[in-house]
Amino acid sequence: MVMHRSEIPEIMVRVHEVPRRSKQVMKQNKEWRTLSGERIKIPIAEEISRVLQREAAEGHELKVCIGTDSQVKAGVTGFATVIVFLRKRKGGFMYICSESTRQRMSVKERMLTEVRMSIDVAYELCNLFSRYRVDMEVHADINTNPQFKSNDALAEAMGYILGMGFAFRAKPEAFASSSCANKVVQ
């Protein structure tokens, strides 16, 4: 499901319901790594700027998808946020940031926390993507089928993402969150 801000009439976003980071969740200096496990030792914005320069110099046409997924195991909720770069007809690569908390959350709170984490990253990097004319989407690991519990957060998540001016994708098209990030938290 792809929707752009102008296509969504009358969706109210209740921002006050979006969970805020607790002191137990996530450090300010996030530790990013590549899929192969190589730690990124510079701020992620600086790393992405270098990547965009390199990819432009090599003539690659890029698209970026940002998504987060979570998994609860033994009272600890693990989150994985990914920045997925797709090269047109030439594969792709991604960056990963894993975080965790012992804070208990409902399914809806967890879904909205995932969305907030993705938006935080998208917002930090969106000017770089604009400068290099790279399309970006924010993927939400939320089911469009009302029979699933995650669907309770769909309208708010969609409004939040679109309200920030980002392109939105939900399951089954949200591969950055439901496939890439999901593999990290499993």
- Tally Cβ neighbours within 10 Å of residue 24: 9
Inter-residue contact 143 to 111 (CB < 8 Å): no
Per-residue pLDDT for the chain (186 aa), expressed as one digit of tens each? Answer: 554 444 433 333 333 344 444 444 444 458 999 999 999 999 999 999 999 999 999 999 999 999 999 999 999 999 999 999 999 989 999 999 999 999 999 999 999 999 999 999 999 999 999 999 999 999 999 999 999 998 899 999 999 999 999 999 999 999 999 999 999 998
Backbone angles phi, psi at 30, to 5 degrees: -70, 145
pTM: 0.84
Closest Cα to residue 138, out of 98, 169, 97, 104?
A: 169
**How far apart (Å, rounded) are the C-alpha atoms in residues 60 and 102?**
41
Domain regions of the chain by residue span: 31-185
Structure tokens at 28: 């300010």
* Cα end-to-end span (Å), the chain: 25
Cβ(160)–Cβ(130) below 8 Å = no
CATH architecture of 31-185: 2-Layer Sandwich (3.30)
CA distance 181 to 186: 9
What are the start-end ranges of the E strands in 102-161? 135-140
Tokens of 152: 């309770």
